[in-house]
Chains A and B, each alone.
With several copies, the nearest count.
Chain A
Amino acid sequence: MPLIIKDEYPEKLFREDGKRLDGRELNELRPIKMEVGVIKSADGSAYLEWGNNKVFAAVYGPREVHPHHLAKPDRGILRVFYRMATYSVFDRKRPAPGRREKEISMIVSDCLEPILFLELYPGTSFEIFIEVVDADGGTRCASTTVAALALADAGIPMKSLVSAIAVGKIDGKQVVDLSGIEDKAGDADLPIAITWYNEEISLLQFDGEMDLDEMTKFLDIAKDALSKIHQMQLVSLKSKYITLKEGEGEKKR
């Protein structure tokens, strides 16, 4: 029913002044805020605001595997549980986890696993819980980015961070960091993540239409944007430690 009032997509996704509807340039990111250590009982945690997205991530592990038969004798396992709050989207989501949530959980897991040394933790599991409490396009990228922070906060050895972003095409133009409306009304969507230890791609999806030249350009603009995200991740991890140095044991919220 709510569909009736909101899901009227604008005819154009650019304003008269050539900027995007939210005032951004083609290659401009939405405002981002990162914070680590927000969930007291977790082994590591982080919080990310990215435009209107609000996402929590918590890491538990290495710990015993439940159920036991999932354990692997020669390595640890990584399990990611991506969930959206019922109220995080326009039409209330049903409370039980849906297919989409399971699919994104798998994608995020595939994207984080390369940065871990799971072979050092035989028989155990790492569990990452991700809760999207407000969603506005790009939640899989936001989730990947915040989960990497939570892993780092947990002090788990990592080859590097991983950063993710969605680039795409709206009204025929290539842009970075699609907003929710740009994602729905746009022409193409390419979420991508880079693991910094080898500068390779660990998440890649695409829906839309592109030729080979367009693909090359997408990969170029994504890489620029991902470098910015990576810097922010590094700063947020550092500033937390700074904070901790200033007032040992205190945690911000």
Chain B
Amino acid sequence: MMNVKRIVSRIEKNYILSNLRKEERIDGRGLWEYRKFSIESDTIASAEGSADVTLGDTRIITGLKYDIGTPFPDLPNEGVCTVMAELLPLASPLFERGPPDEQSIELARVVDRGIRHADCIQTQKLCIKEKEAVYILFLDMYVINHDGNLIDTGGVSAITTLLSAHLPEGIIGDNGLEWTGKYLTGDDLVNELPLVLTYGKIDDIIFLDPNLPEELVCEGKISISVTEKKITSIQKSGATTFSIDDIKMLGKKSLEISQKLRKELNLLQYKTSIK
């Protein structure tokens, strides 16, 4: 078993880097190639939607829960969706117990922004009664196995969970909230299918979907969320810099790669449509 907590040696970094210079990865991939995604949806009986997604050996199980609350005054007919992530110490010796650290905050935030700014959720469908009652969704991601690139795994996991949603439909009747017996589903809620693509940078080499050994020697990363035709969110992280030309190139790459990935994953197959 790999001891991921070791200090990554300069030799190892050089090994990874010299491969990258030849446009080769330590796991045999090309620079712009994803590891294999595999997806199962609606696996958690207690959740109102869920997904079990692996990318290579990275695995995230996400579940959807809800509460009913009053809407924000400035958005009186829109529900709310919050995203949380936990990097379980079960998953990796790199993760520690305790309150959410910077890495889990980043995972939750980047996935959240990828969803939010792509108009992924039709938040008006989450309104039960204007000014009075809306759904508050909780999209909670748990990292079960960590082999690098949590963000892209989390992004697919979040979208799949939303597609698999089945929320009991409520109305405000004379005696307050009543349940109709029907369901609000992914079919009703999901508008757009944003994907988030994360690139690592070592020295001056940039590449897609860093695995864990690569991540441990990366100087920086950049995550770009895209819909079919637009960039909707960017997050640069790590103590490195990117040239302006790099950024332009990555914007272009992201739109190209995501179009291919979108077809392969065919996420709409995970839509729940029970009513």
Contact = CB atoms under 8 A, between A and B. Distances in A.
B233 interface: yes
Interface in B51-73: 54, 57, 59, 61, 63-68, 72-73
B91 A39 contact: yes
Contacts of A5: 168, 179
A101 B2 CA distance: 30
B242 interface: yes
B258 to A, nearest CB: 13
Nearest to A97: B97
Contact of A110 (B91, B230, B236, B244): B236
A130 B239 CA distance: 19
Chain B CB within 10 A, most for which of A57, A198, A199, A204 = A204
B91 A211 contact: no
B236 A106 contact: no
A113 B90 CA distance: 19
A219 B46 contact: no
Given A41-B1, A215-B248, A1 B67 contact: yes
B145 A54 contact: no
A40 B44 contact: no
A4 B73 contact: yes
Contact of A85 (B1, B72, B140, B147): B140
Given A201-B243, A201-B247, A88 B90 contact: no
B65 A87 contact: yes
B196 interface: no
Nearest to A116: B239
A106 B106 contact: yes
Contact of A81 (B63, B89, B117, B238): B89
Interface string B8-38: 0000000000000000000000000000000
A86 B67 contact: no
B84 A114 contact: no
Nearest to B144: A56
Interface string B87-131: 011111110010110100110010001001110000000000000
A94 to B, nearest CB: 10
Interface of B: 1-2, 4, 43-47, 50, 54, 57, 59, 61, 63-68, 72-74, 84, 86, 88-94, 97, 99-100, 102, 105-106, 109, 113, 116-118, 138, 140, 142, 144-147, 168, 177, 179, 220, 222, 227, 229-244, 247-248, 251-252, 255
B56 to A, nearest CB: 10
Contact of B63 (A2, A85, A131, A210): A85
Among the interface residues A40, A95, A110, A205, which one has the most CB atoms of the partner chain B within 10 A?
Answer: A40
Interface of A is mostly: mixed
B168 A133 contact: no
Interface of A: 1-5, 7-9, 38-43, 52, 54, 56-58, 60, 81, 83, 85-90, 92, 95-96, 99, 102-103, 106-107, 109-110, 113-114, 127, 129-131, 133-136, 190, 195, 198-212, 215-216, 219, 223, 253
A150 to B, nearest CB: 10
A5 B74 CA distance: 10
List 5 tightest A-B contacts by C-beta distance, closest first.
Answer: A87-B63, A200-B241, A113-B239, A129-B90, A206-B234
A3 B2 contact: no
B117 A40 contact: no
B93 A131 contact: no
Contacts of A90: 46
Contacts of A103: 102, 105-106, 109
24 contacts: A1-B177, A39-B145, A40-B145, A41-B91, A43-B1, A85-B61, A86-B84, A103-B102, A106-B106, A110-B236, A110-B239, A114-B239, A127-B89, A129-B90, A131-B88, A131-B90, A133-B61, A134-B46, A200-B243, A201-B243, A207-B116, A209-B118, A211-B231, A253-B59
A110 B140 contact: no
Nearest to A222: B244
A212 B144 contact: no
